[in-house]
């Protein structure tokens, strides 16, 4: 397994791995059972061993379980890890209740996160989303204060529009934007990605396989308990038509000797040195496949075929990425 190269996260930003590790699935999500904690810890440590230092979590993943797990994994290895934490989402028994972005709440959230993680400073701290419930100046301004106090190193934002990104960056320099991006979800190419590039903001791109659509393993209909059933993209004729579109990715993957998932990650990786694929993993066995994807090179013809076949709007129905 090769060592992942490092890039600057944004213009003159911190050096991080070109591949990020999403830790969410190491904790109970979408009503799932508690994951194998020891395997999650071993996965994080193995990732660190191979140069993947960007660890992504949220204080609401598993009601804090995810931060506790990461804290155990990085104990005595703090300098090897770059910790990215999202805040603001409120859940009750797995049900989304909304956002709490009040300054007082943010200050409460970060203190709990620091204790669970067992660290003094969070490398990248970001609201999971922004709404109109609290002025953006108050949200971003509070994180800026935490940076001055030494509890945070860099400001991030997540799942916002281009206009919001520009406004946030005017309040305090944004280091990174976390956003869903894949062959199946390219709507951000119109304005959000160009805005981030113009402002020198790094892009942390999650959902590279579009919630499993691009893995080549999905079949219609989905099992009744699949969480994807909540999204119109995976329902009825939409899913059938969308899986037909995935066939060309499967064919190209077979020709090149890789999996469709690897090609999906590689496509995101190929979009620029300022874009980091963020891949969720909970098992060490996934690391070799995902790191290998970072070495895949597309010919001009192959890239054109993918870009044309998966043009904006070609995938039917939506997911929470459009919510």
- Whether 15 is in a domain gets the answer yes
Which H/E stretch holds residue 15?
strand 15-17
Residue 321 in domain: no
On whether residue 61 sits in a domain, the answer given is: yes
Catalytic residue (one of 61, 125, 181, 258): 61
| Percent of the chain scoring above 70 in pLDDT | 97
Instruction: Check residue 323 and give its pLDDT.
Output: 46
pLDDT classification of 3: cutoffs 50, 70, 90: confident
- Classify residue 237 by burial, with Cβ atoms within 10 Å: 0-12, 13-18, 19+: exposed
Chain segment 265-313, per-residue pLDDT in tens? 999 999 999 999 999 999 999 999 999 999 999 999 999 999 999 999 9
- Which residue is it, tokens 């969070």? 122
Residue 141 lies in a domain: yes
Length of the chain measured in residues: 323
Q: State the pLDDT at residue 265.
A: 98
CATH of the domain at 188: 3.20.20.100
pLDDT in tens, 195-208: 999 999 999 999 99
What stretch of H or E contains 97?
strand 95-99
Mean pLDDT across the chain, nearest whole number?
95
DSSP classification of residue 252: H
Q: Domain range spanning residue 43? A: 6-210+262-295
Q: 215 lies in a domain?
A: no
Q: Is 61 a catalytic residue?
A: yes
Examine residue 40 and state whether it is found in any structural domain, yes or no: yes
pLDDT of 95 reads 84
CB atoms closer than 10 angstroms to residue 259: 19
Residue 174 located in a structural domain: yes
Q: In this predicted model, what pLDDT tens digit does every residue of 224-281 receive, in sequence order?
A: 989 899 899 999 999 999 999 999 999 999 999 999 999 999 999 999 999 999 999 9
The reported pLDDT for the residue numbered 32 is 59
- Does residue 43 form part of some domain? yes
Report the alpha-carbon distance of residue 304 to residue 52 in Å, rounded. 30
By mean pLDDT, which of 94-98, 112-116, 142-146, 275-279 is the weakest? Answer: 94-98
Find the helix packing angle between 65-73 and 37-49, rounded to 10°: 50
Number of domains in the chain: 1
Residue-wise pLDDT for 35-91, tens only, equals 689 999 999 999 999 999 999 999 999 999 999 999 999 999 999 999 999 999 999
Pairing of strands 6-8, 15-17: antiparallel
Residue 153: pLDDT above 70?
A: yes
Confidence of residue 29 (pLDDT cuts 50, 70, 90): confident
- Predicted pLDDT at 31: 54
């Amino acid at each position: 397994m090769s060592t992942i190269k490092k890039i600057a996260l944004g213009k003159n930003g911190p050096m991080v791995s070109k591949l990020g590790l999403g830790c969410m699935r190491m904790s109970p999500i979408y009503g799932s059972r508690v994951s194998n904690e020891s395997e999650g810890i071993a996965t994080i440590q193995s990732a660190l061993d191979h140069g993947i230092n960007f660890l992504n979590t949220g204080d609401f993943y598993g009601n804090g379980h995810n931060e506790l797990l990461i804290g155990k994994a990085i104990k005595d290895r703090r300098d090897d890890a770059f910790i990215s934490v999202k805040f603001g989402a409120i859940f009750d028994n797995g049900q989304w209740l909304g956002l709490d972005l009040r300054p007082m709440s943010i200050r409460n959230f970060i203190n709990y996160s620091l204790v669970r993680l067992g660290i003094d400073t969070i490398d990248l701290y970001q609201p999971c989303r922004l709404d109109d419930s609290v002025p953006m100046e108050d949200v971003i301004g509070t994180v800026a204060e935490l940076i001055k106090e030494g509890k945070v190193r860099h400001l991030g934002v997540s799942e916002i529009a281009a206009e919001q990104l520009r406004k946030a960056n005017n309040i305090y320099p944004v280091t990174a934007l976390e956003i869903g991006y894949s062959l199946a979800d390219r709507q951000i190419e119109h304005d959000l990605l160009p805005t981030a590039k113009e402002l020198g903001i790094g892009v942390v791109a999650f959902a590279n396989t579009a919630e499993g659509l691009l893995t080549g393993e999905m079949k219609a209909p989905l099992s009744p308990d699949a969480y994807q059933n909540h999204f119109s993209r995976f329902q009825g004729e939409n899913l059938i038509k969308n899986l037909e579109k995935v066939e060309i990715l499967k064919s190209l993957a077979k020709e090149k000797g890789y999996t469709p998932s690897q090609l999906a990650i590689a496509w995101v990786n190929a979009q620029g040195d300022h874009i980091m694929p963020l891949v969720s993993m909970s098992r060490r066995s996934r690391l070799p496949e995902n790191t290998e994807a970072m070495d895949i090179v597309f010919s001009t013809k192959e890239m054109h075929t993918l870009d044309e076949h998966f043009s904006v709007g070609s995938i039917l129905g939506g997911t929470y990425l459009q919510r």
